[in-house]
Structure 1
Amino acid sequence: MTETGKVTGIGGLFFKTDDVDGTKEWYRRVLGIQEDQPGYGILFPYDQDKDGLKAYSVFSLFKSDTDYLKPGTQEFMLNFRVSNLENLIEKIKAQNVDVEGPVAEEGCGKFAWIVDPNGIKLELWEQ
């Protein structure tokens, strides 16, 4: 049986800052959070998921002038881990919510984006 698309957890939090390097240094110095993968951010690993893949949440900082959070209007973006992204997209569209652009496939999974009623861009990630 194919699992229906749904959110399975928080994939990460992304927010804008005028000083990416200084903010990363603050989080390292104050909270001991080290950047694991330059350009991706800080990874918080979990035990392996059901498919034997290493699962993690991401905490990442972007320059204030980034377009990555657009068309969201907030200074941050939430990333949700999901199962069966294609099925979830069908459910989302059935609720008259626009999906921002095509599904993107990266080395770490598939991604889609929507914007909530508060202007918060949501990134949906199937690892």
Structure 2
Amino acid sequence: MPGRHELTDAEWALLAPLMPDDAPKGKKWADHRKVINAILFRTRTGIPWRDLPERYGPWETAAGRHRRWCMDGTWQRIADRLRIDAASGEELIASVDSTTVRAHQHAAGAAKKGTRRGTNRTDAKHWGAPEAG
């Protein structure tokens, strides 16, 4: 029985044929299923790569494979396959993004007290210079 964030046998059977065969520079790939489970765990929990549980192997392996598969199109092939399978032949558009950007509380762009929004700071009125005219 797979863990909460891990692939079932049926899910792995769907993805296994999409995995790349050629390992980098004559090295042997670590188990693809274990690496995908590590990537899924990290994506679903939001933890840093370095905090992956030991059962998934070295975090560097999962992080490196994730980066490599993003660049070589493996994730795109997986997404395409899952879209087609889920829609029974109909193409769907989906997007997944786990990026978080924190902004300072003053970054909202509200007008500051005593100033008008849209006033150009180089405007002569703003700096108290006499008006031309």
Larger RCO: 1 or 2 (CA < 8 Å, sep 6+): 1
Identify the TM-score tier after normalising by the shorter chain.
under 0.3
> Larger % of helix: which?
2
| TM-score, with length taken from structure 1 | 0.26
> Larger % of strand: which?
1
